[in-house]
């Protein structure tokens, strides 16, 4: 098997090579099903609890990668809350229906958890991926470690460095946009996202 890649988020094209596995029960204990393992990981990440994140991930997961990713999530959720405050919940819901590109920026922590709990499991090429419900191309990779399922965020040093750099940039962009949003003159959320530099 070739070296594993950082597999938190997967492009939609990858899933075409994978076989579908039935959904697990929502009541399963953490790690009992791929969805439960992904749910435990996302729940810890949403709280920014590094110790819990490490416990839900593979033992060899890079702590810096986990921390940077959790900080990005926190900034993303703050941005999403600011968008709702400015444009309203209905505007966000309506825009998500027509804009897959920005959908990941507009989910709440609760929706993230629901996405993995009710996600579709796909396997193949030595991988198990929980594809988040309602978030095309977004998923969590899960592997077996000593009989337990854990979220897999492993990768080569170069891959981890690239991912950390990307997530740090996202964090700063979310913080900047959140700070500037109250003064933005956009009439609606579509106009806001269609402005240059808002991708």
Instruction: Identify the pLDDT of residue 167.
Output: 94
Can you tell me which residue has the tokens 């029960």?
25
pTM: 0.78
Instruction: Identify the pLDDT of residue 30.
Output: 55
How confident is the prediction along the chain (199 residues), in pLDDT tens digits per residue?
A: 444 443 443 333 322 223 233 343 433 455 589 999 999 999 999 999 999 999 999 999 999 999 999 999 999 999 999 999 999 999 988 888 777 667 777 889 999 999 999 999 998 776 799 988 877 778 899 998 888 999 998 889 999 999 999 999 999 999 999 999 999 999 988 898 887 766 5
| The two three-digit tokens of residue 91, written as one number | 């505007």
In degrees and rounded to multiples of 5, residue 87 shows phi and psi of: -110, -15
Q: Which residues contact 40 (CB under 8 A, 6 or more apart)?
A: 30, 31, 56, 151
In degrees and rounded to multiples of 5, residue 84 shows phi and psi of: -65, -40
- What digits encode the pLDDT tens for the residues 43-66? 999 999 999 999 999 999 999 999
Q: Which residues contact 168 (CB under 8 A, 6 or more apart)?
A: 68, 72
């Amino acid at each position: 098997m070739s070296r594993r890649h950082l597999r938190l988020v997967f492009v939609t094209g990858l899933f075409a090579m994978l076989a579908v596995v039935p959904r697990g029960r929502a009541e399963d204990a953490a790690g009992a099903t791929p969805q439960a393992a992904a749910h435990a990981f996302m729940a810890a990440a949403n709280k920014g609890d590094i110790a819990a994140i490490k416990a839900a991930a593979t033992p060899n997961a890079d702590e810096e990668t986990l921390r940077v990713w959790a900080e990005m999530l926190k900034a993303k959720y703050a941005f999403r809350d600011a968008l709702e405050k400015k444009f309203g919940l209905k505007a966000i819901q309506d825009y998500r229906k027509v804009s897959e590109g920005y959908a990941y920026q507009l989910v709440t922590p609760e929706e993230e958890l629901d996405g993995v709990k009710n996600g579709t499991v796909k396997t193949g090429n030595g991988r198990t991926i929980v594809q988040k419900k309602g978030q095309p191309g977004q998923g969590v990779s899960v592997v077996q470690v000593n009989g337990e399922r854990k979220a897999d965020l492993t990768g080569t040093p170069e891959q981890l460095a690239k991912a950390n750099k990307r997530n740090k940039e996202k964090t700063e962009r979310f913080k900047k946009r959140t700070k500037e949003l109250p003064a933005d003159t956009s009439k609606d959320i579509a106009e806001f996202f269609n402005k240059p530099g808002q991708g």
